[in-house]
């Protein structure tokens, strides 16, 4: 097990370095001059050249990348003399559009996106897996038919339709959630306001994902129940409840964890539509705004961050997979 984990961790570190290098090179090829974009309205060649030197764009590309990596671990200073300023580690650069270190912008947006993704993950796993088990347990009966209707609706409705419908009916018509509720509040500061703030976005995302997980869980449970070892367990007189929850679900949970990890990583990258509908100041909205404003340091940082989350979640999924299925460690 230890060798398996060491191999996976080493592979994850190498992949992170490769991804960061590739993304950095791609953004260096963008047909825009970052120094000119950070110049403002009153722009001269002298100001552009000064910004280029201040931001380190006058150096060779490999030196820029090394400075970028160094800033992540040790922080980075910009400019010189009395005009110098520092972005402490982990530093992903400086945004002249926002007049702030990129890390500070990420620090403000990331808790919102993590809260959104984590709450939606718990909700869709609870609903989707439960409905999938019930549908498989009562195959071709009314619970199965009801779950099929839910799957059809959940997979057919886009998130922007579900989100707008919840916003119009729950907030405007029924007034169950106040429309004026804006601004992120931490769970530890005000739990009630935190749940009020996120309940509709959680439901919006959970409906779409829960439908997919219901269908997947139902198919996986039915397939596993047809395996030889399940028939053997039943022939030995093992209770149906034990067969379902101890033998069947252990095999079913492995692929579900894989899907959940990747879907969660995708949401951390930014649920742009949901964040826009409910005015959530998360990572998705930050990325979208940065793209429109050509704020390249922020776009670069959010891209690398999203890729890093996917790689880390793959590592965690591999570890959990190895616990559930020891054959994976070989």
The number of folded domains in the chain is 2
Which is more confident, 227 or 130? 130
d(CA 310, CA 286): 19
Q: Does one domain contain both 251 and 143?
A: yes
Does any domain span residue 228? Answer: yes
Is 189 part of a structural domain of the chain?
yes
E-assigned strands of 163-298?
Answer: none
Q: SS3 of 240, please?
A: helix
Using one digit for the tens of pLDDT, what is the confidence trace for 176-185? Answer: 887 655 567 8
Which candidate, 279, 266, 265, places its Cα nearest to that of 112?
279
Exposure letters 245-273 (e unless 16+ CB within 10 A, then b): eebbbebbbbebbbbbbebbbebbbbbbb
pLDDT 10s digits, 240-281? 888 888 888 888 888 888 889 888 988 886 678 888 888 888
Kindly state whether residues 200 and 231 are assigned to the same domain.
yes
114, part of any domain: yes
* Residues 221 and 132: beta-carbon distance below 8 Å: yes
Within 8 A by CB and 6+ apart from 132, the residues are: 147, 213, 214, 215, 216, 217, 218, 220, 221
Cβ neighbour number for residue 25 with a 10 Å cutoff: 12
Range(s) of the domain holding residue 262: 106-329
Per-residue pLDDT of 35-79, as tens digits, reads: 776 666 667 778 777 777 777 788 888 898 998 889 988 998 877
For residue 181, what is the domain's CATH number? 1.10.3720.10
pTM for the complete prediction? 0.86
Considering the domain architecture, whether residues 139 and 225 belong to the same structural domain is answered as yes
């Amino acid at each position: 097990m230890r060798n398996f984990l060491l191999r996976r961790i080493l592979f994850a570190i190498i992949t992170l370095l490769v991804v960061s290098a590739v993304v950095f090179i791609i953004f260096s090829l963008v047909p825009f001059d970052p120094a000119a974009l950070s110049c403002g309205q009153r722009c001269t060649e002298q100001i552009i050249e000064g910004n280029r030197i201040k931001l380190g764009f006058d150096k060779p590309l490999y030196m820029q990348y090394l400075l970028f990596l160094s800033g992540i671990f040790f922080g980075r200073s910009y400019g010189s003399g009395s005009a110098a300023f520092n972005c402490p580690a982990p530093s992903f650069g400086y945004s002249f559009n926002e007049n702030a270190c990129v890390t500070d912008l990420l620090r403000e947006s990331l808790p919102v996106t993590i809260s959104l993704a984590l709450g939606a993950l718990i909700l869709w796993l609870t609903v989707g897996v439960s409905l999938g088990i019930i549908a498989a347990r009562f195959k071709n009966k009314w619970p199965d038919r009801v779950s099929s209707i839910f799957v059809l609706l959940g997979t057919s409705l886009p998130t922007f339709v579900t989100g707008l419908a919840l916003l119009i009916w729950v907030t405007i018509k029924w007034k169950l959630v106040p429309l004026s509720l804006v601004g992120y509040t931490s769970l530890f500061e005000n739990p009630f306001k935190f749940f009020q703030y996120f309940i509709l976005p959680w439901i919006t995302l959970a409906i779409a994902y829960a439908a997919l997980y219901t269908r997947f869980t139902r198919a996986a449970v039915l397939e596993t129940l047809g395996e030889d070892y399940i028939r053997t367990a039943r022939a030995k007189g093992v209770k149906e409840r034990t067969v379902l929850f101890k033998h069947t679900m252990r095999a079913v949970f492995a692929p579900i964890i894989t899907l959940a990890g990747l879907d969660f990583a995708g949401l951390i990258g930014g649920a742009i539509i949901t964040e826009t509908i409910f005015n959530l100041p998360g990572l998705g909205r930050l990325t979208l705004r940065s793209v429109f404003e050509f704020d390249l340091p922020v776009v670069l940082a959010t891209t690398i961050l999203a890729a890093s989350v996917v790689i880390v979640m793959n590592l965690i999924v591999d570890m959990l997979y190895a616990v559930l299925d020891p054959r994976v460690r070989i």
